[in-house]
Chains A and B, each alone.
Chain A
């Protein structure tokens, strides 16, 4: 099966559980005292999807969202974006629109957008009704799901839904344009002049 690398960027206010969701998805692990993820600029996990394997490269904001200073490069080439809010914090839902706007401005045009209402294990102190969030997601044609990174609820499902929305590669040759990453092992030198 062909492996397709898909960049996914996470958005949302500080403290809504962006890193926890990734951590749960990638390592099936939850840490109560998670500090802003240091040293991991993205995590990867490969999941099967139809005839392909999707290798998610999940980028964390690395705290740059804290003072509204996310760089445009963060969005480049993303296949999907997950905008996370905290169902127990109305503020974090109200800023969704701002993240959507920012994504429209800087993100790729064909990006798959998912909205995740995290901390749904804390239903008793909920401030954001699910219906309202679902309606908002529908209005921007985004995937909607409520998750609990803590109890491992719907995290896998979130990424499955994203996988399903990623259009299959029609023509792999067309997709591969000739841009590349610089690596430690340079391409074999050929056609050297002398």
Chain B
């Protein structure tokens, strides 16, 4: 595993391994372009990444440290006649901010013994975790709430406190009573030490999105055969929050009929509405430009149905125009039933898998991958204003015809900022139970939370169960997302306090407890900005606040089409069964396969 030199000539050099960059990489590599794909980070997927609990803690820590301004090396010696240098930004400190961490569970668990590095019989621990699961209701007394009295302004210290406390259990080992806790199902909350110990069972996404079953990402995954690298689960239910209650939203025919909260009249009305809105009518057109809410009101649907249709099915706000509300209602309905009873899919192991899958496709077709490796500057030919080559972090000159770079690596001075960057507010909660317990404890839920008070944002919430492989048994992972009004804590903690049990909440005995949570703001990638880089340099933008992945997929396709307008975007890769090796020439079966070079 000795360090090798990179080849020095490529068609496309790509910096950043987020979704858009990874799709671009796969697309180019697939049609025979030589691709070099780099990321300065030590992990894939940039701000789209998923982390184990422990690597998330590292990520948090990194974002708390002052970014070390790297020494700008003068590479002008590598310049050739008629070239100039453009330095890229070497710190990506601007896209994530306001991190706040709270731990509401006891630091050391009854199983602190299991801290020893090679703890045997993990399976038993798992079942112990399962036993703990339904236990939370009875006790909260033994949890420590050290951090909760502190104010948000003290976030730095607070964060450090939680970091160091996390390391403590190893130092002062309390008398372990592991056997005891396994034999008798005492009502013990999962401790922080257990979260750390089972940390690799978590895959915590930085972004929270879902795949629409007929959305462009699903289409692309299938079209390109990248889908073979990933598995998915259906989102099993759509929930909403109103009058202080979590309710299930009936959205399929079966749901509507099975619903116990709807009256017979409501059921009929809802079915009639859903059937009628598929076709565009004169009546609907008359409402163009007027709020969808107004249209819904005039349909005489009643408050229940109106809430479901506006917030959970169209997922729009009260002032969204009718045509937009209807369009998203239709999209929702079109996506029902393709894979399951809701329109949404979620990838097993988390969303961070998707960029990795596209990277693999790129690598399979010869793309070269190198993490912990960056580009420090571009070599631009003055006369043509084109980027001829890049200089990597080791000072190697690598020539390329095109350069694709994630927004975060482009210095602020190069961007034309029309408006200040908007941010998304995010919260990640590890809880000890589902927000709406049901027969099955393996539900994946999409929850829409209308503004809890005037001026508050609409919050999208996704609750994941352990079978999605994103959290340890006995826990659920909850993602909250909204457009920032204030800091993530200011925007989202009111919702968390209302819907979950935290030290701040009152009379929430039945709600699941928050064991650990993280708040942070991330730059909203949908803010498209211009740049004054050479014309063969393409800038991709990070995750946006939408639930879908349309934005990243369309960015990637646009870049590909600009560079190679004649080529097919992500044609299907051959199936393994269709590749026939016969030494001399290689033929492939399948109808849509392009020419394929394998071995010589």
Mark A residues whose CB is within 8 Å of B.
13-14, 23, 27, 29, 31, 33-44, 57, 60, 62-69, 71-74, 76-77, 91, 95, 98, 105, 109, 177-184, 186-187, 189-194
Contacts and interface: CB of A to CB of B under 8 A. Distances in A.
Among A36, A38, A43, A190, the one with the most B-chain Cβ atoms within 10 Å of its Cβ is A38
Contact of B228 (A181, A191, A194): A181
A53 to B, nearest CB: 15
Nearest to B373: A67
Nearest to B122: A109
Contact of A193 (B337, B353, B370): B337
B336 A193 contact: yes
A182 B576 contact: no
Contacts of B467: 177-179
A193 B4 contact: no
A31 B231 contact: no
Q: Considering residues B275, B339, B371, B599, which has the most beta carbons from chain A within 10 angstroms of its beta carbon?
A: B599
A179 B232 contact: yes
Contacts of A179: 231-233, 348, 467
B227 A39 contact: no
B599 A33 contact: yes
A74 B2 contact: no
Contacts, number: 164
Interface in B289-342: 333, 336-339, 341
B13 to A, nearest CB: 14
Interface residues of B, number: 66
Given A31-B581, A194-B333, 12 more contacts: A35-B600, A38-B365, A38-B598, A39-B579, A39-B597, A41-B364, A44-B576, A60-B364, A63-B363, A67-B4, A71-B356, A73-B230
29 contacts: A29-B581, A34-B599, A35-B599, A38-B596, A39-B573, A41-B228, A41-B364, A44-B577, A63-B363, A65-B1, A67-B371, A67-B373, A68-B1, A68-B371, A69-B370, A71-B359, A73-B356, A91-B1, A98-B1, A180-B339, A182-B230, A187-B338, A189-B337, A189-B338, A192-B336, A193-B274, A193-B337, A194-B253, A194-B278
Contacts of B234: 178
Contacts of B233: 178-180
Nearest to B362: A62
B221 A182 contact: yes
B357 A181 contact: no
Given A41-B360, A98-B1, A180 B232 contact: yes
Interface string B267-291: 0000100110010000000000000
Contact of B360 (A40, A64, A66): A64
B510 to A, nearest CB: 28
Nearest to B341: A191
A62 B366 CA distance: 8
Given A66-B368, A67-B4, A67-B369, A186 B360 contact: no
A182 B341 contact: no
A191 B598 contact: no
B179 to A, nearest CB: 21
Nearest to A68: B1
A73 B583 contact: no
Contacts of A36: 366
A69 B369 contact: yes
A138 B118 CA distance: 17
B349 interface: yes
B274 A181 contact: no
B256 interface: yes
B472 to A, nearest CB: 12
Contacts of B2: 91
B371 A42 contact: no
Nearest to A29: B581
B364 A76 contact: no
A183 B222 contact: yes
B44 interface: yes
Contacts of B252: 191-193
A180 B230 CA distance: 8
A181 B356 contact: no
B533 interface: no
Contacts of A64: 359-360, 363, 369
Nearest to B118: A104
B227 to A, nearest CB: 4
Interface centre among A60, A77, A193 (most CB of B within 10 A): A193
A194 B274 contact: yes
Contacts of A34: 599
Interface string B351-384: 0010011011101111011111100000000000
Contacts of A109: 122
Interface in B211-226: 218, 221-222
